[in-house]
Chain A
Amino acid sequence: MSRSSESSRSRRLWRSPGLGVVFALLVCLPALVPLVVIVGAAISPQAEVWAHLAQYVLPEVVANTVKLVIGVALIGGTLGTSLAWLTAMCEFPGRRFFDWALLLPLAIPAYVLAFVAVGFLDYAGPLQAWLRDIFGTSSWFPRIRSTGGTILVLSLAFYPYVYLMARSAFLTQGRRALEAAQMLGHSRQAAAWRVAIPLARPWIVAGIALIVMETLADFGAVSVFNYNTFTTAIYRAWFGMFSVSAALQLAGVLLLFVLLAFALERRSRTAAHFSSSRDLSREAPRLRLQPLARYSAVCFVALVFVLAFALPILQLLFWVFTRAMSDLDARYLGFVARSVVLSLSAAVVIVAASVLLAYILRRRPTTLTRSVIRVAMIGYAVPGTVLAVGILVPVILLNNFLQEQLRSWFGAAAPALLLQGTLLTVLIAYLARFLAVGFNPIESGLQRVTHSIDEAAAGLGVVGGALLRKVHVPLLRTSLATAATLVFVDVMKEMPITLITRPFGWDTLAVRVFEMTSEGEWERAALPAVAIVLVGLVPAAMLTRRGAHVA
């Protein structure tokens, strides 16, 4: 059989209706199974627990969750967008440093930032103690353990997602669009509002969607503030009332909210394209700010960097040197190595799956395929422990089923299977959780590779794998790097899934943080936390360095 007829047949097969959906379902399977488990549990509510929840718990947590999500989306979105604006569009002293430094908070887990903030800013913390020494009282100081404090800290922890997305949008098309609008008589400010920011909207919204999902799923950080959210209610129903089903049902309701938010976001978009294949950034220089604006910009950017990164790191380092140095031993090489292996493997698996999904969607953009993929993204909004159990239980059931088969073939001599304690399961669970993180940048990157580029390449005889290798991968390089970095850093920080699915002895840095914090030894947790930050810094820095050159 000749190559060409083989490839044409495979292409025909590829085009056959429904196959895209089948492939998409296969790739998304790990992400869909836990959702099925959750929705399945929601069908049989326990009346008694629900009556209690509805009366005493839900009103507060729904209100709190809504406040938190709106607050973090607004403040985190504003921070991310405005910082991206400043570093991508303007020129000010230190811009080159802040360009990548503003991404560094990505490497600090939100729960760590929360603990540092509470430790530093609460009544008993050093700042208020100092204020009391001077003024005699610190009662006027705003309470950090409050709705506002929670929102602020989560915004500082999560803004880099928006920053990263908005920055690439501004870099590629912002300055040129701004000039065009200025030539049409709009002031720079009006131009920013009317053109540059609307143009970047899909990227900003994608970043905010990640923030919202992170916020919904967060348990560690809100616990530090003792701020009750849907997620804490889920944990309370589960661990406090021993009602797994009530917990899963709450999770089901949470998912409904997320789906609703997604649907609204989709509907707000029209046929408009937000990117053009032309490179609009050529030769347009950065905006020169007036002296006052310039110094305000420097102060603002520096303030965010200090609050979100420098201060927490200093506090962590202080704890490391005063309390945790004795914990540092040769085992840390293993913790770091295992963290890196898991994060890297997860990055490869998730980026590969995302690329596959993005191409399925590109080739066969049916509503059904799109919906399957959208639903599979929700895993990012499910509280970690719920998702961990949601993926682990089906794997165990599969394991038990296979074990039964083995027994029926080999009798008592059958080897014991333990799928749940393998790296495969860990990676499947990571895929379920972080698919959204990998998929979003790759999908928006692929949107820029227009079909005319495909056609031009086909005209030159470049199709199939060669098209990917020679044309798409180079064009998608930044998107791939962004996706891989985000997944890498997120997996480094991930705790509940790693805890329950890791094989015996596979302790990572995040597991070390858990070991210390589960009995409240936060100062000792500083050592693994700093290690997480340091390891996470490397790709974060690499990413922005690259991004500065690749539009």
Chain B
Amino acid sequence: MLSWISMRRAGAILGVLGFAAVVAACSRPPEQLVVYSARNEQLIKPMFDRYTAETGMPVRFVTDDAGPLIERLAAEGANSPADILMTVDAGELWHAADRGLLQPTESSIIDANIPASLRDPQDRWIGLSVRARTIVYSTERVQPEELGDYAALADERWKGKLCLRTSKKVYNQSLVAMLIAEYGEEKTESIVKGWVANLATEPFSNDTLLMEAIAAGQCDVGLVNTYYFGRLLREKPQLPVKLFWADQAANGVHVNVSGAGVTAHAPHRAAARKFLEWLSQPEAQSLFAALNLEYPASPTVPADAAVLAWGDFKQSPMNVAKAGELQSVAVKLMDRAGYR
């Protein structure tokens, strides 16, 4: 299978390949956008393709989790080829901005399209789609009147009936961070402890499994991002599980964003700003959200028909940047509360 000779030859070939790759990497075409994206390829590539078709500007991208992408960006510093960092969580964007990896982008177009609560106060990043995290319940065992806000799930009545996703997922970390912003650390800790006491089973690794557990009768209520609900509903339209808009009487549904910012050392700063402006416009907004059954960040743009069917709801008006600011506090709080 492997003889010494062929190994040596293969080594030589690899060497040439590597050298060629280095040389190729040296000659960068002058006009293109480079995106580091934590959002899936299948959710962003259609956007890039359309943008290239409309403007002729080629877009290259690398996908990965936000953590490694941010470390890479930080290490590359002024030599980074990246123009835009895209994530699926405001906390990550806040963190990147906090480390000085993003630069402010002032644009009247963006200001007009995206509400201030979904943008960085210093304009270093913007939300592009809204992800609502709210309550799901079993239509067989729960009446919607029994439900209220997130804190109410800590109530004794839900003992052994609550399902949660793991606290490792940033969506839950953001949610708890927002609760801290609303209620303060002490009260939030008692809420999270209440949730943990009410758990019907160990936290799940994803929202879909959680909803299936509700459907199967393992628990009655849970917390999910709406697009997971939409996706599952598409597969199983008869699912005895429904969304409930949490906390409509007071703060509104907790929302997070999938968003983007221009990197601090973007080689094509102007082009990057143009691209973000394009993404904030109604046509792009509609497509961007619809690809994943999310809500457009721009309030004037209607969501996908399937999403609209779940009804209108009041969003929490708090700036999503808070989620990032308080995320590490939230994680420690969840550790203390024993929320795994």
State yes or no: do A and B come from one complex.
Answer: yes
| B67–A385 CB distance below 8 A | yes
Q: Which residues of B contact A70 (CB under 8 A)?
A: none
Taking CB atoms, residues of chain B closer than 8 Å to A416 are 26, 28, 79, 81
Q: Provided the pairs A499-B65, A515-B42 are in contact, do residues A345 and B14 lie with their beta carbons within 8 angstroms?
A: yes
Q: Are A348 and B14 in contact (CB under 8 A)?
A: yes
A336 and B210 CA atoms in complex are apart in Å by 33
Cross-chain contact B1 with A481 (CB below 8 angstroms): yes
The complex places the Cα of A515 from the Cα of B41 at a distance, in Å, of 6
Q: Say yes or no for B64: interface residue by CB 8 A criterion.
A: yes
Tell me, yes or no, whether B175 is within 8 Å of chain A by CB: no
Interface centre among B78, B95, B212 (most CB of A within 10 A): B212
Kindly state whether residue A215 has any CB partner on chain B within 8 Å. no
In the complex, A477 has a CB within 8 A of chain B? yes
The interface residues of chain B lying within 8 Å CB-to-CB of A228 are 340
| B226 close to chain A: CB less than 8 A | no
How far is A516 from B66 in the complex, measured between Cα atoms in Å? 16
Distance of B67 from chain A, by nearest CB (Å): 5
- Rounded to whole Å, the gap between the CB of A508 and the closest CB of chain B is 12
Q: How far is the CA of A128 from the CA of B213 in the complex (A)?
A: 11
Q: Is the CB of B25 within 8 A of A239?
A: no
Contact B168 A243 (CB under 8 A): no
CB-nearest residue of chain A relative to B214?
A124
Q: How far is the CB of A419 from chain B (nearest CB, A)?
A: 7
Residues of A within 8 A of B79 (CB): 396, 399-400, 403, 416-417
A129 interfacial contact with B, CB 8 Å: yes
- Asked if B208 and A520 sit within 8 Å, CB to CB, the answer is yes
Q: Do A226 and B340 touch across chains, with their CB atoms under 8 A apart?
A: yes
Cα-based distance from A465 to B62 in the complex (angstroms): 43
Q: CA separation between A119 and B208, bound complex, in Å?
A: 10
Name the B residues within 8 Å of A294 (CB-CB). Answer: none
* Proximity bits, B199-231, A CB within 8 Å = 1, else 0: 001111111110011011010000000001001
A-side contacts of B34, CB under 8 Å: 504
Option from A224, A348, A419 in Cβ contact (under 8 Å) with B11: A348
Of residues 95 to 128 in A, which have CB atoms within 8 Å of B's CB atoms?
A: 118-119, 122-124, 128
B77 within 8 A of A: yes
Contact A423 B218 (CB under 8 A): no
Residue A135 interfacial (CB < 8 Å): no
Q: Among A122, A427, A468, find the residue whose CB has the most chain B CB atoms closer than 10 A.
A: A122
Instruction: Given A226-B205, A240-B168, A520-B228, answer yes or no on A418-B25 (Cβ-Cβ < 8 Å).
Output: yes
Q: Are B216 and A392 in contact (CB under 8 A)?
A: no
CB nearest neighbor in B for A238: B67
Q: Which of A494-516 contact B (CB under 8 A)?
A: 496, 499-500, 502-505, 507, 511, 514-516
Residue of B76, B203, B209, B327 touching A242 (CB-CB under 8 A): B327
Please give me the residue from chain A that is nearest to B32 by CB atom.
A504
Contact A226 B202 (CB under 8 A): yes
User: How near does chain A come to B228, taking the closest CB pair, in angstroms?
Assistant: 6
Q: A123-B218, A242-B327 are in contact. Are A423 and B68 (CB under 8 A)?
A: no
The reply on B166 being an interface residue by CB < 8 A is yes
Q: Which residues of A contact B301 (CB under 8 A)?
A: none
Q: How far is the CA of A393 from the CA of B72 in the complex (A)?
A: 7
- Are B67 and A505 interface neighbours, CB within 8 A? no
Q: Which residues of B contact A515 (CB under 8 A)?
A: 40-42, 63
A269 close to chain B: CB less than 8 A: no
Which of A323, A418, A419, A505 has the most chain B CB atoms inside 10 A of its CB? A418
Contact partner of A499 among B63, B95, B166, B201, CB < 8 A?
A: B63
What is the minimal beta-carbon distance from A36 to any residue of chain B, in angstroms?
15
Q: For A502, what are the chain B residues with a Cβ–Cβ distance below 8 Å?
A: 62
For A481, list chain B residues within 8 Å (CB): 1-2
Q: Are B216 and A123 in contact (CB under 8 A)?
A: yes
A interface residues, tally (CB under 8 Å): 82
Tell me the bound Cα distance from A499 to B218 in angstroms: 36
Q: Decide yes or no whether B307 CB sits under 8 A from chain A.
A: no
Which residues 372-417 in A have Cβ within 8 Å of B in the complex?
A: 385, 388-389, 392-393, 396-397, 399-400, 403, 415-417
Q: Chain A residues near B61 (CB, 8 Å)?
A: 504
Assess the B22–A419 pair: CB atoms within 8 A. yes
Does B308 have its Cβ within 8 Å of any Cβ on chain A? no
| Residues A520 and B207 in contact in the complex (CB < 8 Å), given A223-B168, A392-B71, A484-B2 | yes
Contacts of B141 in A (CB 8 A): none
When the two chains form their complex, are residues A124 and B76 in contact, meaning their CB atoms are under 8 A apart? no
Whether B204 pairs with A226 at a CB distance below 8 angstroms is yes
Contact A129 B216 (CB under 8 A): yes
CB-CB nearest in chain B for A542: B1
Contacts of B88 in A (CB 8 A): 519
A367 interface residue (CB < 8 Å to B):
no
How far does the alpha carbon of A225 sit from the alpha carbon of B340 in the complex, in Å? 11
Q: Which of A123, A129, A345, A465 contacts B201, CB < 8 Å?
A: A123
Any B CB within 8 A of the CB of A181: no
A403 to B69 alpha-carbon distance, docked (Å)? 21
* With known contacts A145-B201, A418-B26, A500–B72 Cβ distance under 8 A: yes
Partner of B205, one of A224, A393, A542: A224
Nearest Cβ in chain A — how far from B112, in angstroms?
A: 30
Inter-chain contact A236/B168, CB cutoff 8 Å: yes
A418 to B63, CA, bound (A): 17
A507 CA to B1 CA, complexed, in Å: 27
User: Are A473 and B292 in contact (CB-based, < 8 A)?
Assistant: no
Cross-chain contact A348 with B10 (CB below 8 angstroms): yes
C-alpha gap A420/B68 in the complex (Å): 13
Contact call B60/A505, Cβ cutoff below 8 A: yes
Known contacts A228-B340, A349-B14, A400-B76; decide if A417 and B331 are in contact (CB<8 Å): no
Min C-beta distance of B312 to chain A, whole Å: 25
- Contact B69–A421 (Cβ < 8 Å): no
A537 to chain B: closest CB distance in Å?
Answer: 16
Bound Cα distance from A518 to B7, whole angstroms: 37
Whether B317 is near chain A, meaning CB under 8 Å from some CB there, is no
Question: With A243-B328, A427-B18 known to touch, is A388 a contact of B68 (CB < 8 Å)?
Answer: yes
Q: Does B75 contact A (CB under 8 A)?
A: yes
A389-B332 contact, Cβ under 8 Å, with A239-B170, A473-B4: no
User: Once the chains bind, are A422 and B63 in contact (CB under 8 Å)?
Assistant: no
A241 & B292 in contact (Cβ 8 Å cutoff): no
B173 within 8 A of A: yes
Q: What B residues does A480 contact at CB under 8 A?
A: 1-2
Q: How far is the CA of A505 from the CA of B95 in the complex (A)?
A: 27
Closest B residue to A345 by CB, please name it. Answer: B14
B2, B75, B203, B332: the one within 8 Å of A392 (CB): B75
Given contacts A393-B75, A515-B41, are A422 and B18 in contact (CB under 8 A)? Answer: yes
Q: A396–B72 Cα gap in the complex (Å)?
A: 8
Interface of chain A residues 38 through 67 with chain B (CB within 8 A): 52, 56-57
| Choice from A349, A417, A468, A496 contacting B25 with Cβ under 8 Å | A417
A308 at the interface (CB under 8 A from B): no
Q: Which residues of B contact A243 (CB under 8 A)?
A: 328
The answer, yes or no, to whether B3 is at the interface (CB within 8 Å) is yes
Inter-subunit contact A122/B71 (CB<8 Å): no
Contacts of A146 in B (CB 8 A): 202
Contact with B along A299-312 (1 / 0, CB 8 A): 00000000000000
Question: Can you show 13 pairs from A to B with CB atoms below 8 A apart?
Answer: A145-B201, A226-B340, A235-B67, A239-B66, A345-B14, A389-B72, A392-B72, A400-B76, A400-B77, A418-B25, A515-B42, A515-B63, A516-B40
Query: Given known contacts A118-B205, A345-B10, A516-B42, what 19 new A-B pairs fall within 8 Å (CB)?
Result: A56-B336, A124-B215, A124-B216, A128-B216, A226-B204, A226-B205, A235-B168, A236-B168, A345-B17, A348-B10, A348-B14, A352-B7, A419-B22, A419-B25, A422-B18, A469-B3, A504-B34, A507-B41, A519-B40
**8 pairs of A and B residues whose beta carbons are closest in the complex:** A124-B216, A424-B18, A418-B25, A240-B331, A124-B212, A241-B328, A56-B335, A396-B75
Spell out B's residues near A (CB within 8 Å): 1-5, 7, 10-11, 14, 17-18, 21-22, 25-28, 34, 38, 40-43, 60-69, 71-72, 75-79, 81, 88, 95, 98, 166, 168, 170, 173, 201-209, 212-213, 215-216, 218, 228, 231, 235, 292, 327-328, 331-332, 335-336, 340
